[in-house]
């Protein structure tokens, strides 16, 4: 078993049959770099050890960019937050705290004008990113005692009042991804027993009964309503890699319930990251999504009746490796990105140790 102790990499024998540590921990390497949640080392099955020295990562910095990749400013201090989601007017944001009791902590809201970060939920439990209502007055999210059972709630974005339960199904992982502009339909994704994501729509008027939109042997999630509610963009790996697709949305399908209409269009060309929900520009004429490396891609879109017409995807600007989550303002002009910290040196060496087991025998 390997772990860091004050920058020193320690190794301790582990009895796999008894599932317990044995003996005393032994130092293997000193001055090993680390981030907020892990050390920068790896050990192969054959026993080779590799590590980075002296690199300390304090967290990612929220940074504003324009469409050309020019830095416009930063917000707050570097930390371990994740899943930034901007309000419709771009004046506020919501992030998920990854430093709490679990790796999926509570939501916090950000006030960009005042530079204030305010705690929004107090559950200290696994949960989801925020989904803002179109008027910015509510935030929808999922939380629960474990990742296997997440309940969908909504709460006033001001933080006042109690949470309202929208939907609960015991034993089901569920994460909201998009709310229709009229507030009538919520898109969310679930994780099936075979480990793939499926997309559902939850009507929020009357008795909420979820309807399955996509549920095959492929991953199909991160659904996002277009501003006019006529289309849904989503992620799928049906081609063998993650791509962004668009399908028409019919609020009342043949069976009287929400459904997909005829037609399906692939929007991305060279793949997409599976961690960021595709975003529609407020006028519905552009769709922004992440490339496999996280850099923002944009594609012009238009619709003529039942036909959807995507243009050629283009990269807006390049982001560095290990970039975190990002979101874009509704007008498509500014990005807020969790930027990785700058390294102490561009040529930080990787040290490889081949006979570290000898230290255990001393």
CATH number, domain at 242? Answer: 2.120.10.30
Q: Same domain for 158 and 290?
A: yes
Check if the beta carbon of residue 41 is closer than 8 Å to that of residue 50: yes
d(CA 176, CA 201): 9
pLDDT band at 36; cut points 50, 70, 90: low
pLDDT over 60 (residue 37) = no
Q: Same domain for 107 and 30?
A: no
Classified as helix, coil or strand, 212 is: strand
Q: Same domain for 35 and 128?
A: no
Q: Same domain for 126 and 240?
A: yes
Q: Same domain for 226 and 261?
A: yes
Quick one: 127 exposed, middle or buried, by C-beta within 10 A (0-12, 13-18, 19+)?
Answer: buried
Give the pairing of strands 185-191 and 174-179. Answer: antiparallel
pLDDT over 60 (residue 155) = yes
Q: Same domain for 205 and 303?
A: yes
Q: Same domain for 208 and 114?
A: yes
Q: Same domain for 159 and 261?
A: yes
pLDDT mean across residues, the chain: 89
| Mean pLDDT across 290-307 | 93
Q: Same domain for 234 and 320?
A: yes
Model confidence pLDDT, tens digit, residues 163-186: 999 998 888 889 999 999 999 999
Model confidence pLDDT, tens digit, residues 249-276: 999 887 788 999 999 999 999 999 988 9
Phi (first) and psi of residue 126, to 5 degrees: -55, 145
Q: Same domain for 108 and 160?
A: yes
Strand order in the sheet with 197-203: 174-179, 185-191, 197-203, 211-214
Model confidence pLDDT, tens digit, residues 328-342: 999 999 999 999 877
pLDDT over 60 (residue 303) = yes
- Note the pLDDT of residue 254: 76
Check if the beta carbon of residue 58 is closer than 8 Å to that of residue 340: no
- Note the pLDDT of residue 360: 66
**The total number of structural domains that make up the chain:** 2
- Note the pLDDT of residue 99: 62
Residue 19 is encoded by which pair of tokens? 């599932």
| Mean pLDDT across 275-300 | 96
Model confidence pLDDT, tens digit, residues 80-128: 889 999 999 999 999 998 765 444 579 999 999 999 999 999 887 878 8
For every residue of 67-96, DSSP letters joined together read TT--EEEEEEEEES-EEEEE-TTSSEEEEE
Q: Same domain for 69 and 22?
A: no
Model confidence pLDDT, tens digit, residues 44-54: 888 888 988 87
Q: Same domain for 83 and 218?
A: yes
d(CA 280, CA 234): 11
| Structural domain that includes position 65 | 60-339
């Amino acid at each position: 078993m390997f772990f860091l102790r004050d920058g020193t990499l320690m190794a301790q024998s582990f009895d796999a049959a008894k599932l317990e540590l044995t003996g005393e921990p032994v130092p293997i390497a000193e001055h090993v770099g680390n981030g907020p949640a892990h050390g920068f080392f790896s050990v192969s099955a054959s026993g080779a050890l590799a590590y980075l020295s002296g690199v300390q990562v304090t967290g990612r910095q929220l940074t504003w960019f324009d469409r050309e990749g020019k830095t416009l400013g930063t917000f707050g201090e570097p930390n371990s937050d994740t899943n930034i989601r901007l309000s419709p007017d771009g004046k506020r944001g919501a992030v998920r705290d990854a430093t709490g009791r679990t790796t999926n902590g509570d939501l916090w809201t950000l006030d960009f004008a005042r530079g204030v970060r305010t705690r929004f939920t107090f559950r200290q439990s696994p949960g989801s990113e925020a989904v803002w209502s179109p008027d910015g007055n509510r935030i929808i999210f999922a939380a629960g005692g474990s990742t296997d059972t997440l309940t969908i709630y909504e709460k006033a974005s001001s933080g006042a009042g109690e949470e309202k339960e929208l939907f609960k199904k015991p034993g089901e992982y569920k994460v909201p991804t998009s709310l229709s502009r009229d507030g009538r339909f919520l898109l969310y994704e679930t994780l099936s027993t075979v480990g793939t994501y499926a997309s559902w729509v939850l009507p929020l008027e009357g008795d909420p009964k979820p309807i399955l939109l996509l549920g095959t042997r492929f991953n199909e999630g991160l659904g996002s309503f277009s501003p006019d509610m006529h289309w849904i963009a989503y992620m799928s790996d049906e081609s063998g890699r993650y791509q962004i697709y668009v399908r028409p949305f019919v609020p009342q399908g043949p069976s009287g319930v929400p459904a997909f209409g005829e037609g399906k269009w692939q929007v991305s060309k060279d793949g997409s990251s599976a961690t960021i929900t595709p975003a529609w520009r407020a006028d519905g004429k552009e769709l922004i999504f992440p490339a496999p490396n996280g850099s923002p891609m944009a594609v012009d879109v238009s619709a003529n009746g039942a036909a959807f017409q995507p243009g050629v995807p283009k990269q807006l600007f390049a982001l560095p490796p290990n970039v975190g989550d990002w979101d874009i303002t509704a007008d498509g002009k500014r990005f807020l990105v969790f930027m990785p910290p700058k390294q102490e040196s561009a040529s930080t060496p990787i040290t490889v140790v081949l006979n570290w087991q000898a230290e255990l025998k001393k």
